[in-house]
Chain A
């Protein structure tokens, strides 16, 4: 275990844990938009910036989602300067996605009413803040890498290859569930699962349960599950509720 202090409170954390985890274990709030327990830390939003002083006395600002705890570290999760930086960061995001309710709520929490920067057309970024949670979930959790970033610099966008090749997507919806700003929409209707992504839409067929007739899972996801689990396809012919019933 590693001993450190966060906002003056003594605490211990496992070697290799990040400062963000250690702070959360103490119920200390640090705003984040790109961190999630299911995927690796990435460091895109910079909101989790904190002030640290190392045992040897070096003082600087670091992102807590990526900075591993170390013995004798003294962390301040917020200072006046950091609060100002967080306000600036959220204002930059508000200019990018002016209509996002999630960002507006966070801005309020961070003490920013509005943004001093010109607001982009909401139809340009569709609330996508490029946090890479969806791409990391698709890559690290699902293992499909069906979505990724295209273009460099200020032109960066989240997309599927060539904006239309959705072959690798299994329609599982992990991206939809993990998106912090609802930039990805998913609806199941008439036997189809439809995704509205920031820059393209995709539709996939759902499978009907052989027993109850309900549309339960995307056909592609079933194929993926069969392959991953080694179970025969027929195993997934019935929905999970019908399968559970049998077991009971």
Chain B
């Protein structure tokens, strides 16, 4: 690898990569993201390599490991080029057949194609899978083509062109103007205008300034940042270099959640490769601009994603937030001006520089521009990462892209924005998703987690679930959050346990109001959201728990009973399944007897019964 010392040399390198690349070869692009790895992608990759070697096809076929295109639920997924065939749920045992049928005979293997959920018709091309058709993939556009561990791949697909443009044709002020004009708002949750943040940091006093990338992503069910960092780390890095140049920073940090080993690894490789090519380090591309990036692994708490806690953690202190009355862009890491942005925010930067602010501002709504990646999880048929233009409706995301609710169940709510986001009910499904609309209905954009709930979810229980999560993740520094969450949990447990009263609800409301107004950081003041939206939109469920001691969704254990019906033929399955021996047989063909005192309401009998002879009341 040769260090590039001018823009011309970069252009030359790009050209030579293109000429070396053998476009006549067939390519098997296998997703190497964490989701697919969990489903056996490493075995599939190995099997392809072995099979191709065994058949002597090395000169005809390339096996490439790509980033995550987002359809993790269907892993292991792969595409074969140039035929452009999309295979899903591929296992090791399928590889020999794929090599023979597709790579050698040029046929498709029907059974590994994606079946359209409504028509059952097999879909051949990735772009025709309904999960992808309504998406607008800008940031994820190349993720199923690029090998995240190869800078040459990134360069081949136009990578670092934005950096060359910024360094050669744009002054720092000009870049900041462009960012401001684009309307990009931070993707980490707060939605603060990125250009304005850069400008403040640029103008802040101090010789040493930092740019930081927030890849802490601790929200349950969220994995957009992981996926970007694993799948296309150079796009994030390129954004950071451009940002540092605009801001006047020469040092940067990527703060990555320690539980993301592949993201840490790929970010590290990206930094090393960029340094070797002179795209990072001293005198970048001969421009005289210096910028160094280090990786710091996270402290292991959700709250470490909060800007001041993150900086404390980076300094080696305990990851606890502090008051932000003086902004971190003025006094952040080691009290120096520091610009923190989310992974996805950084990844948007090269796109804006390449395509222009006008192009970016042309996507989205009046107050929220561009695309947003959501991780769509929970009770939807297609779970995964979806990149959509701002302003798309919740209905389109959940029903068109997500394929609706599985098992013929009814949609109940969607939680956006992570554990402290609000629950949005069915009558708001046509809400246009953007920063302001989500806040207006009591939820938030957050980092983009989207958890779908159906009629089998109890909304009081869901509120309790998130309060329990946050109770374990908060730092404990400020009183309203620490003690408040403890009491909120206590009060919610009363309601789900059938002990709740109308006074409890009044107390929950005033407690939430105090937490909202007086907590030290965003964790404490957004934590009431799930509880308050549950109360606002699903009050009848609370009333059922309180007035009738009934859980309509049949979730809250103290409020339900399992009952054996008359059609039970004494097959014995439930007797064996019951972990506390609460079920005894009475004799041949006679329904078994369930001891309500012994029963722990685990639901095992209900799950094993094949005749619907167990009724939950």
Contacts and interface: CB of A to CB of B under 8 A. Distances in A.
A58 interface: no
20 contacts: A43-B478, A44-B479, A45-B479, A46-B478, A49-B518, A66-B325, A88-B480, A88-B510, A88-B511, A89-B518, A92-B483, A93-B479, A116-B507, A117-B487, A149-B318, A152-B474, A153-B482, A153-B485, A154-B474, A156-B482
A89 B514 contact: yes
A43 B325 CA distance: 12
Interface residues of B, number: 32
B298 to A, nearest CB: 14
A45 B520 CA distance: 10
A85 B476 contact: no
Interface in B475-508: 475-480, 482-487, 490, 507
A61 B476 contact: no
A95 B323 contact: no
Contacts of A149: 318, 476
Contacts of A230: none
| Interface range, A side | 20 to 34
Interface string B301-330: 100000000000000001000110110000
A130 B476 contact: yes
A154 B485 contact: yes
A92 B476 contact: no
Contact of B520 (A46, A130, A132): A46
Nearest to B503: A116
Nearest to A156: B476
A229 interface: no
B476 A63 contact: no
A67 interface: yes
Give the 7 A-B residue pairs with the shortest CB-CB distance, closest first. Answer: A156-B476, A92-B483, A88-B514, A66-B323, A46-B518, A153-B474, A85-B514
**Chain B interface SS verdict (over half):** helix
A224 B475 CA distance: 33
A62 B325 contact: yes
Nearest to A62: B325
A152 B480 CA distance: 15
Given A85-B518, A89-B480, A89-B518, A154 B322 contact: no
A81 interface: yes
B480 A92 contact: yes
A81 B517 contact: yes
Given A84-B510, A152-B301, A153-B471, A46 B479 contact: yes
A118 interface: yes
A154 B479 contact: no
Contacts of B475: 152-153, 156
Interface of A: 42-46, 49, 61-63, 66-68, 81, 84-85, 88-89, 92-93, 95-96, 116-118, 129-130, 132, 149, 151-156
A92 B535 CA distance: 22
A46 B476 contact: no
A92 B484 contact: yes
Given A152-B475, A153-B475, A118 B514 contact: no
A153 B518 contact: no
Contacts of A68: 325-326
Nearest to A154: B486
B519 A46 contact: yes
A66 B477 CA distance: 15
A155 B482 CA distance: 9
A154 B301 contact: no
B386 to A, nearest CB: 32
Contacts of B519: 46
Given A44-B479, A66-B323, 18 more contacts: A43-B477, A46-B480, A61-B517, A61-B518, A67-B325, A68-B326, A81-B517, A92-B480, A92-B487, A95-B483, A95-B487, A116-B507, A118-B490, A149-B318, A152-B474, A154-B474, A154-B476, A156-B476
Given A84-B510, A95-B487, A154 B471 contact: yes
A96 B476 contact: no
Nearest to B470: A153
B473 interface: yes
Contacts of B471: 153-154
Interface string B214-245: 00000000000000000000000000000000
Given A43-B323, A92-B483, A92-B487, A155 B476 contact: yes
A181 to B, nearest CB: 13
A118 B494 CA distance: 12
B455 to A, nearest CB: 32
Interface in B344-381: none
Contact of B482 (A43, A117, A154): A154
A89 B511 CA distance: 9
B106 interface: no
A49 B517 contact: yes
B261 interface: no
Contacts of A129: 479
A44 B323 CA distance: 10
A44 B517 contact: no
Contacts of A61: 517-518
B472 A43 contact: no
Nearest to A85: B514
Interface string B508-528: 001101100111100000000
A116 B490 CA distance: 12
A92 B325 contact: no
Given A93-B479, A93-B483, A153 B520 contact: no
B338 to A, nearest CB: 19
A88 B487 CA distance: 11
B239 to A, nearest CB: 31
A15 B440 CA distance: 37
Contact of A153 (B476, B479, B480, B517): B476
A92 B478 CA distance: 12
A129 B476 CA distance: 11
B478 A153 contact: no
Contacts of B480: 46, 88-89, 92
Contacts of A84: 510, 513-514
Contacts of B325: 62, 66-68
A45 B474 CA distance: 15
Between A49, A68, A88, A116, the greatest number of chain B beta carbons within 10 A of the residue's beta carbon is seen for: A88
B476 A151 contact: yes
A153 B485 CA distance: 9
Contact of B490 (A89, A93, A117, A153): A117
